[in-house]
Amino acid sequence: MLSAANYVVREVQHTAGIDDVVSRAIDEIHSALGHPTALFVRLPTVGTFDVPREKLDDLRRKGVPLAWYFGSISSYDDAVGALLAHVGELEKWQDAFIVYTSTTGEHFKYRDFVGHASTCHDDSIRVPLLVRYQGKSEEGVSRHEIVGLCDLLPTVAELLGLRVRPTDGRSLLPLILKSSLPASPWRSRILIENVRTRHIAIAGDGTGDGAFRLYPSYEERAIWDGRMKLVLAASGGESCLFDQAIDPEEEFNLYTLPRKYTQRLYDQLSERRAQVVAYAKMLKEEAIAIGDTVGTGLADLAINSPDAGTRGPGSPLTE
């Protein structure tokens, strides 16, 4: 698409530390003379570069857990700041459109004991999306509309004046440009597609005792409207309903209420079957719109069978 618009496409991969990536990206910024350029800069992932000791020492002295991770995030901040500073100094980049984002979040193996970002929980799917359109976007503005990475393609296409095949995303330019509003109401919900990779769960033996076992991957689909999130799981997975207004950490699964729990954590919460069906119908509509047969099938199961997604993890892997 970018080549069709006569853009030179360049990419800076991470082959060494984060400082090396920034240095090579700055060289690319300065070398883009006389022609439109699309520059992709891939910062190294957490754990693949050395974090400056001064960042770690500052965090450790304050008792911050996971200091190494947050030191890495601080290094990303410095890297992005350095790149933006160089772009801002160069007249040829004064109409630059800049996007900073990530493919996944991080839940530190908390959700399934083994994975980092293969769930539909917010700590996996909520990622930063920072946009600057030099001279045309307002600085320091946070938007609360529901957006996704699927919106980046139609955004860039509109920016370049190109037509692309229909997608499930929509252009973000009306949300980015100064004093601009979307021509039609913005989406009120979004479909999330996911494969829950090989994971660890506790296998009970019916006596209250259990053991950790490794289980195979399975498909997940979710619908989220800014407050409620319904997650539907294929065979071997657990379906969930979360109300983020009362449970922003997504700890209390409301999908199978009412149910008994030894610590009586759910006693004050009412039955949610009607809500599960209503959100499953929303998910089915979104899945049909993009031809997602897996999502459509999972929604039908949730609508027609209260037991769907509640039958345990299936058979563990033997290897």
Q: Can you give the length of the chain in residues?
A: 319
pLDDT at 32: 73
pLDDT at 192: 95
DSSP string over 122-177? HHHH---EEEEETTTB-TT----S---GGGHHHHHHHHHT------S----HHHHB
CA dihedral (8, 13, 15, 21) in degrees, to 10, reads 80
pLDDT at 119: 87
Angle of helix 18-31 relative to helix 67-89, nearest 10 degrees, comes to 10
pLDDT at 207: 47
pLDDT-flagged residues of the chain (< 50): 207-208, 319
**Chain mean position to CA 234:** 20
pLDDT at 249: 93
pLDDT at 162: 84
Taking residue 202's Cβ as centre, other Cβ atoms within 10 Å add up to 11
